[in-house]
Copies of this chain bind each other. A is one copy, B any other.
Amino acid sequence: MNQDQLSIAVVSGDFDKVLAAMVISLGAAAMDMEVKLFFSFWSLAALRDPKKKAHGKNFVSKMFGIMLPKGKDKLKLSNMNMGGMGPKMIKSIMKKHGVLSLEEMFKQAGEFGIEITICEMSMDLMGIKKEELIDYPNLRFAGAVTFAGDAGESSAQLFI
């Protein structure tokens, strides 16, 4: 077992949950822990690049594509979303208090060498293609067995 490894399965795609995942990850990385993030299901929305477009999608994939938030700037709050006003308020308070934005947190995560693995089954289920995902230095594509393996060899695991 790796004493200094943290594995997080990020399944929720809510702004507050993805934020929690990134804050904890950066905190752990700052303490020299190795951090491995496994994005699946709704959290894939956070990894969509709004400037990119995928082609050749079938009907269901297009529907999912329309309904899922297009990138981390469009994520909803799990509570008090109030039609998008909630996230706007939170973001402005974060800025006022000098908290990094999600965008900046992902950038820092990349610089810290935090690994992001994207669940391939989730990509299939939601019809999300590789060409519409954000650029990130340390990106892998794998399945739940990989997460189970990472989690098993980590000293800490979270499901968010």
Contacts and interface: CB of A to CB of B under 8 A. Distances in A.
A158 interface: yes
Interface of A: 1, 3-4, 6, 8-9, 11-13, 16-17, 20, 23-24, 26-28, 30-31, 33, 40-42, 60, 63, 67-68, 78-80, 89-90, 93-94, 97, 99, 121, 124-125, 127, 143-149, 151-152, 154-160
B1 A78 contact: no
B6 A16 contact: no
Nearest to A11: B20
Contact of A9 (B20, B30, B80, B97): B20
A127 B93 CA distance: 9
A23 B93 contact: no
Contacts of A24: 9, 144, 147-148, 151
A67 B40 contact: no
B125 A42 contact: no
Smallest CB-CB A-B distances: 4 pairs: A27-B148, A28-B148, A27-B145, A158-B159
